[in-house]
Structure formats: C-alpha cells, structure tokens
Amino acid sequence: MSEEINAVQITASLVDKHELKYTPAGIAVFEGTFHYSGDVYEAGGMRHLEFDFSAVSFADTAVGLEKTALGSKVHMKGFLSPRTMRSSRLTVHVTEYKIN
C-alpha cells in the first residue's frame, strides 16, 4: 500500500488578509491571499510563474499570520484542501511559516 502525500512548500508575498475570526470552540482562523512570482524548471527549460492563491491557518499560526504586514514575503509549509466540501477550488492550509 502506497502512502499518499499532500504537502506544499512555497514562498510568496501576503497581498490581502481578512480580520481574524474564531471558531465556536475559540480557535483563531486566518484567511488571506498570497502572490507567487518566480521561475521553475520544467521539461528541460525555465518557466516563469505568477499567480495568487488563497490560504487559511488556525490557532497560533493564524494569530502570527494575521500580524504579518501586507507585502511581506512568507515561506510557508502546509497542505492543499478544497475550500469547502463541495468545492473543487483548492486552498493552502498553512501549518508552519517564517517571514523572509
């Protein structure tokens, strides 16, 4: 049986963030938008990518990201998940981060 892997590691700039929310259990929730711009190697050559993506985080990670200034470069680790159970749109769930 093979182990399924769902892992994301990316450095991007924080371009938008919502006010910190809390779950009914009192857990902090961060929602924001990040912008990636960089070059990747694919099919024998370099390719420039530029895109925005949404991210969410919980608890202490959420509190820290909410304090991060817009425009800051953030190196984050986490995983992908649909935005809602019925959605095909993916969101990065940030479990670790570091401000660059």
Contact 36, 9 (CB under 8 A): no
What are the residue boundaries of the structural domains of the chain, listed by start? 8-99
Residue ranges in the chain whose pLDDT is less than 70: 1-2
DSSP per residue over 9-31, as a string? EEEEEEEEEPPPEE-TT--EEEE
pLDDT at 84: 82
The pLDDT tens digits for 14-41 are 999 999 999 999 999 999 999 999 999 9
CATH 3.90.870.10 fits 8-99, yes or no: no
Residue position matching structure tokens 């986490």 = 78
**Contacts for 7 with CB less than 8 Å, ≥ 6 apart:** 77, 78, 79
pLDDT at 3: 82
